[in-house]
Amino acid sequence: SLIGFARAISCATELNPVRYNNNGCYCGWGGSGIPVDPIDHCCKIHDNCYADCEKLGCWPKLSPYSLTCLHSTHTPVCDNSENTKCNACCCNCDVAAAICFRDNEHHYQPGKATCK
């Protein structure tokens, strides 16, 4: 879900998740073209992951799920014992993207990564 994704990003990066919206070609609604930087590549992978969840009949942007933040390691973790199949699929996508953002934060250049 969008709320869960925001929580996962905040956990992993300790930053406001809005900073990634409209970065490059894939961060935000829709997406096309070639990712402009590693953060944008994280968003493309996330879009593809959501598409896989949709193939299972899920609505990733609306599927709420249970998530825990391990604050000591800045790691969001899906509580998949409590999540349905769809919720787990969406949570796994969101957590993977949040960790990707964290691991590539040093590549983030606001205003420079715009899709062409």
Distance CA 21, CA 70 (A): 24
Measure the CA dihedral 109/47/83/65, to 10°.
50
What is the pLDDT, as a whole number, of residue 112?
57
Q: Quick one: three-class SS letters along the chain? A: CHHHHHHHHHHHHCCCHHHHCCCECCCCCCCCCCCCCHHHHHHHHHHHHHHHHHHCCCCCCCCCCCEEEECCCCEEEECCCCCCHHHHHHHHHHHHHHHHHHHHHHHCCCCCCECC
Active site residue 52: no
Output the tens digit of pLDDT for each of the chain's 116 residues.
889 999 999 999 999 999 888 888 898 877 888 898 999 999 999 999 999 999 999 998 888 899 999 999 999 999 988 889 999 999 999 999 999 999 999 888 776 556 66
Active-site option among 37, 46, 74, 107: 46
Distance CA 77, CA 72 (A): 13
Binding residues: 26, 28, 30, 47
Binding residues for Ca(2+): 26, 28, 30, 47
What is the pLDDT, as a whole number, of residue 114?
64
What is the pLDDT, as a whole number, of residue 30?
75
What is the pLDDT, as a whole number, of residue 113?
57
CA distances from 7 to 36, 64, 69, 115 (A): 25, 12, 8, 26
Active-site option among 52, 94, 106, 107: 94
Active site residue 94: yes
Domains of the chain as residue ranges with CATH: 2-107 (1.20.90.10)
